[in-house]
Amino acid sequence: MPKYSKRWTPEETALLKKLYNSTSVRELAARMGRTKASVQMKANMLRISNKNLRWNSQEIAYMRRWYGKRSPAEIAAVLGRTHKAVIARTQFIEGVQLRVPRWSAKEKMYLKRHYAHQKLSAIAAALGRTVRSVHGQARAMNIPLLRRIFTRADDAYIKRWYLKKHASVIAARLHRTAGAVRTHAKNLGIKKNKKRFL
């Protein structure tokens, strides 16, 4: 019987309640012989949460004051949170302004210098921006997408998945546009049946 279909025993439930606040989901899943999704789902059903993941009033106040004035990366560093956690939390804090800080001259210079050679995810991480923000700023600065060369790894990924996945899914994985993926797949001699993905 698959792990995800096993019923939770009273002993497992008690152990989950006892350790969830002090043990990672990965460790609990390994210890119980379950998937991480199973552990998280059971914790949600029991309405228990990891206290280490909760946002306290001071953190929320800091977010209300500085989000939109400082980059998410700067806020994350101060609060000891991840960049993604800061951005995700904005959806649940009333009064937080969701405007993104303007791009500085230094950031624009970095983008212009590295856009042709680095993946968008790497540039985004270096600047504390989202991939979407980096892509949008590159377009606003008229930095040509064609300068970004597809690597051998990119080629291998496209050859493996282009006939099985939608171009937009592959584009998200490679941090490119769907149009760029379609064009490159055509250059690689890969064609798909359009009706399959309508």
Tens of pLDDT, residues 80-96: 777 767 777 776 666 55
Mean pLDDT of 158-179: 85
Residue 3 has a pLDDT of: 41
> What fold does the segment set 3-52 form as a domain?
Arc Repressor Mutant, subunit A (1.10.10)
Residue 38 has a pLDDT of: 81
Model pTM greater than 0.85? Answer: no
Mean pLDDT of 74-83: 77
Tell me which of 12-21, 69-78, 91-100, 156-165 is least confident.
91-100
Q: Shortest CA distance to 188 belongs to which of 155, 157, 160?
A: 155
For residue 23, pLDDT over 80 is answered with no
For residue 124, pLDDT over 90 is answered with no
Please list, in sequence order, all residues whose beta carbon lies within 8 angstroms of the beta carbon of residue 185, skipping any fewer than 6 positions away. Answer: 158, 162, 167, 191, 192
3-state helix, strand, coil in the chain (%, to 5): 65, 0, 35
CA gap 121, 125 in Å, rounded: 6
Residue 157 has a pLDDT of: 93
Mean pLDDT of 186-193: 84
pLDDT band at 155 (very low <50, low <70, confident <90, very high): very high
